[in-house]
Homo-oligomer: A and B are copies of this chain.
């Protein structure tokens, strides 16, 4: 693993405060791999042998049941995924596939659990990370249960706008079919939802979005930090 990557991982909240020796020990057992796009990295139901760290690229977490499937989250660098399964030593609840060429570090789950026992700073970081993950899912659940698909899209656009700097014009960061799945609707319905937002000042051109009437859109979307602010 190149030094720069090593340092980037070290700087993740999850690892920043742990003792040097423990971090080194964790990394000794780890290995880094490059994956092409559209590779299924893990399948739900499998034992959780590795904690994954996405170094570059992007990963889709999804789940299937009875012939249907849905995207639950998108992982972007640099962050870990499937931490909960790792610490519980329980089967994965979600499958993961690369969306593009991705570089991923794999740390054996048993190493994570061992160091977790030995390093209280690491343990603390894991708690913080898990609490964060938990709260994010709760927010998503509120989004799903309290809002119509049009409202979910409107709020998604506002979040994405903020993430990309806050300007009136910005880009969607993934395929519309995946966005539809993330938002819990069909691609057809997403198309119609975009049209449904035109009256509130939303212009769509491919992956480019222009919010021509910020106030109007916000008035319709009614964003709420307890649903839409994923940082707290």
Contact = CB atoms under 8 A, between A and B. Distances in A.
Nearest to A138: B93
Interface string A81-114: 0011101101101100000000000000000000
Q: Interface SS of chain A: helix, strand, loop or mixed?
A: helix
Contact of A138 (B127, B137, B145): B137
A130 interface: yes
* Number of copies of this kind of chain in the complex: 2
A226 B134 contact: no
Contacts of A226: 44-45, 63, 91, 93
A84 B123 CA distance: 15
Interface of A: 44-45, 63-66, 68-70, 72, 83-85, 87-88, 90-91, 93-94, 116-117, 120, 123-124, 126-128, 130-135, 137-142, 144-147, 151, 184, 222, 224, 226-227, 232
